[in-house]
């Protein structure tokens, strides 16, 4: 459907009727009931002060609230007093939504958090992450695993393994994990994350108690004997430079919430109080 159509928003009786003016192509979506030019949004509640107010969606998909005289009552003009500069991003403003973290937690019947599994290559991080995810799934909990190698297939494929790239790799994953936790998901991050300051930076992104550091305390000689990917052999032969544990350091966690000496999934589940 193209051209200008009119959509009626049906809200609770305490909310006035709003009309959504559309000037762009409207796709057929599962939550929209299409009837010629009519779209009925049965569950959407929009609070307005006047029944003559209208919501308009322009070609650039920007929403503005206007009254019957056509005067904007909530335009895209930004309050300059609240603009921020974060890193290299300037003139930005945090936009809050009425659906908050606690609302999502109540919907899912769980509290979102980040379980950060760190350790040497071959220590069993990915194995225990997936096992933990499976057990929590069987208990009716929504989880998502952020595996270090998997993330480098997409989001972080532009990063190498130099110190600065490793730091950026961890920072990005930390930010993604924070979003998952905010959404109410139990996010299990599984990656070497060799530097203590980078892990601590990720911890600082979340409220106290929402970041659970799990240290896979497996000695180097055990990990090297396992060598499931053959990476230690390549590193010893000089074919891989900057390999953690061989010619690049791994900084052992000091205050991790969980320390895994042996692969014991049930013990790990019992130790984590996020069920």
Structural domains in the chain? 101-218+251-273 (3.40.50.300)
Per-residue pLDDT band for 255 (boundaries 50, 70, 90) equals confident
Q: What is the pLDDT of residues 105-126, one digit of tens each?
A: 888 989 999 999 999 999 999 9
Predicted pLDDT at 88: 82
State mean pLDDT over 46-52. Answer: 41
pLDDT higher than threshold 90 for residue 97? no
Q: pLDDT value at position 271?
A: 52
Residue 55 clears pLDDT 70, i.e. is over it: no
Per-residue HEC secondary structure of the chain comes to CCCCEEEEECCCCCCCCEEEEECCCCCCCCCCEEECCEEEECCCCCCCCCCCCEEEECCCCCEEEECCCCCEEECCCCCHHHCEEECCEEEECCCCCCCCHHHHHHHHCCCCEEEEEECCCCCCHHHHHHHHHHHHHHCCCCEEEEEHHHHCCCCCCCCCCCHHHHHHHHHHHHHHHHHHHHCCCEEEEECCCCCHHHHHHHHHCCCCCCEEEEEECCCHHHHHHHCCCCHHHHHHCCCCCCCECCCECCCCCCCCCEEECCCCHHHHHHHCCCC
Least reliable range by pLDDT among 82-91, 103-112, 212-221, 227-236:
82-91
Give the lowest-confidence range in 19-28, 150-159, 188-197. Answer: 19-28
pLDDT digits (tens, 9 = 90+) for 180-210: 999 999 999 999 999 999 999 999 999 999 9
Catalytic residue among 121, 133, 190, 193: 193
Q: How many CB atoms lie within 10 A of CB 74?
A: 12
Quick one: what percent of the chain has pLDDT higher than 70? 65
In percent, the amount of the chain with pLDDT more than 90 equals: 50
Residue 84's pLDDT band, with cuts at 50, 70 and 90, is: confident
Answer whether residue 77 shows pLDDT above 60.
no
Q: What is the mean pLDDT of residues 163-170?
A: 92
Q: How confident is the model at residue 73 (pLDDT cuts 50, 70, 90)?
A: very low
Indicate the range of 30-34, 91-95, 206-210 predicted with least confidence: 30-34
Q: How confident is the model at residue 93 (pLDDT cuts 50, 70, 90)?
A: confident
Active site residue 126: no
């Amino acid at each position: 459907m193209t051209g200008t159509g009119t959509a009626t928003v049906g809200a609770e009786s305490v909310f006035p009727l709003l009309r959504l003016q559309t000037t762009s192509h409207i796709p057929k979506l599962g939550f929209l009931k299409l009837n010629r030019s009519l779209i009925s949004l049965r569950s959407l509640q929009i609070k307005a002060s006047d029944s003559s107010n209208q919501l308009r969606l322009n070609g650039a998909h920007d929403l503005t609230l206007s009254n019957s005289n056509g005067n904007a009552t909530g335009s895209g003009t930004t309050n300059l007093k609240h603009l921020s500069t974060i890193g290299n991003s300037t003139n930005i403003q945090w936009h809050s939504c009425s659906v908050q973290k606690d609302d999502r937690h109540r919907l899912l019947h769980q509290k979102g958090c980040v379980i950060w599994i760190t350790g040497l290559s071959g220590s069993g991080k990915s194995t225990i992450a997936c096992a933990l995810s499976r057990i929590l799934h069987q208990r009716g909990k929504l989880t998502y695993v952020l595996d270090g190698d998997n993330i480098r297939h997409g989001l972080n494929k532009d990063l190498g393994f130099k110190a600065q790239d490793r730091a950026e790799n961890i920072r990005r994953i930390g930010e993604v994990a924070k979003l998952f936790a905010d959404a109410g998901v139990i996010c299990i991050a599984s990656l070497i994350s060799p530097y203590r300051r980078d892990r601590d930076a990720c911890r600082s992104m979340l409220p106290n108690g929402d970041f659970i550091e799990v240290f896979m305390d497996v000695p180097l000689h055990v990990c090297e004997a396992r060598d499931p990917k053959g990476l230690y052999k390549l590193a010893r032969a000089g074919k891989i430079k900057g390999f953690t544990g061989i010619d690049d350091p791994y900084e052992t966690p000091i205050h991790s919430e969980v320390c895994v000496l042996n692969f014991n999934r049930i013990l790990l589940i019992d130790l984590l109080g996020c069920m």
